[in-house]
Structure 1
């Protein structure tokens, strides 16, 4: 018998199916927890901040509808705002430290080149940007996430310059004075609101990204 040929009974048997590999973890537990806590704190600060803004608007002709604000009145809004601020600060510090210590910050968000950003931005406009691998961020996502990290830091610093203007005179002056610090704070808040709108729109287009942030894979 030719050793290279199998008996007919064996040759007709189907090939063994390899075991299904478990889905790899995209977001570890600490990323998911800090992400949702940051989202809760940022949203609470934004809604309560709108009520605080209405009490002393920077632009007299513009105010936010009270129905989309949080706090009910100025004192209540301030309590919500400061409570969320501490959550954002401490949770944000934990998020940044763990990202740096694990190397995730460099691995996920760098490198980021203008050429890659332009290429992925054009692909996104054409609807040809792939989202098959959720563990990999394209250049547009990298820029957006780095931007919102910096924006939240500016929000906290400008908020401190407003809240503790006497205690932090150097910070107040770096912001251009108390009145300018209010404008910086409002602008950073507006940019964060814009980021949230775009972020939610992308989640709606790629719902698997929401599942990944909920269950990790």
Structure 2
């Protein structure tokens, strides 16, 4: 007969530790859905006037044609902007960004990167981000802000002349917008891959524990 120790009984009796509060999970999934719609519809818009010598397959675009892509893109844009702005305000006001994303040091990033590449990075405490995660999350927030601003510069180049000028004009703003989109797609690929490799991290973003 297997005996259960006092520590085991205590672990069973205690509720699982809350890691991701409800507001974080809600904003996370809304942002994810809005970003995916924006990416797929953005590829449809790109196909109407390509910047490079390639276009995206119709199977990975949304909208069917230019006007349809624009409708989807603008609808998701407002959702992403409002949801993202509230998320940023709450993240700063509650101190979550400071607690979760700071500090970041070059030596810490290098050490955690080496540990990740050699399979030695621990995932025991999901309430704390390693420094590679911190850096990536900070960068994707910055890239997200730039992609929105460059998108506004492309959408309303006359009304937002000053903003379009900041990006070097309409044509350069399109390149900035595309590069930021590519960086976000790369982040999403890595993010999803890591979530699949560490399933409990995905569970915490669904149920919070």
Q: Could you state the TM-score of these two structures normalised by the residue count of structure 2? A: 0.94
Are residues 1:35 and 2:28 paired?
yes
Q: Of residues 87, 95, 99 in structure 1, which corresponds to 2:91?
A: 99
Q: Of residues 13, 37, 55 in structure 2, which corresponds to 1:20?
A: 13
Match of 2:109 in 1: 117
For residues 195 and 105 of structure 1, what CA distance do their matches in structure 2 show? Answer: 19
Structure 1 residues not aligned, in runs of 5+: 1-13
Change (3 A) 1:113 1:15: closer
| Counterparts of residues 184-199 of structure 1 (less than 5 Å) | 184-199=176-191
Shift of 1:23: 1.2
Let me know the Cα RMSD of the aligned residues: 1.3
Match of 1:53 in 2: 46
Shift of 1:20: 1.8
Residues 23-81 of structure 1: per-residue CA shift (max 9 Å, x gap):
1210000000000000011110000000000000011x211111110111111110000
Shift of 1:193: 0.5
Structure 2 residues not aligned, in runs of 5+: none
Aligned residues: 203
Residues 106-154 of structure 1: per-residue CA shift (max 9 Å, x gap):
0000000001000000101001100111100000000111111111111
Match of 1:5 in 2: none
For residues 19 and 145 of structure 2, what CA distance do their matches in structure 1 show? Answer: 26
Are residues 1:66 and 2:58 paired?
yes
Higher helix fraction: Structure 1 or Structure 2? Answer: 2
For residues 6 and 50 of structure 2, what CA distance do their matches in structure 1 show? Answer: 72
Q: Of residues 134, 138, 151 in structure 2, which corresponds to 1:142?
A: 134
For residue 13 of structure 2, give the secondary structure of its aligned residue in structure 1: coil
The structure number with the bigger radius of gyration is 1
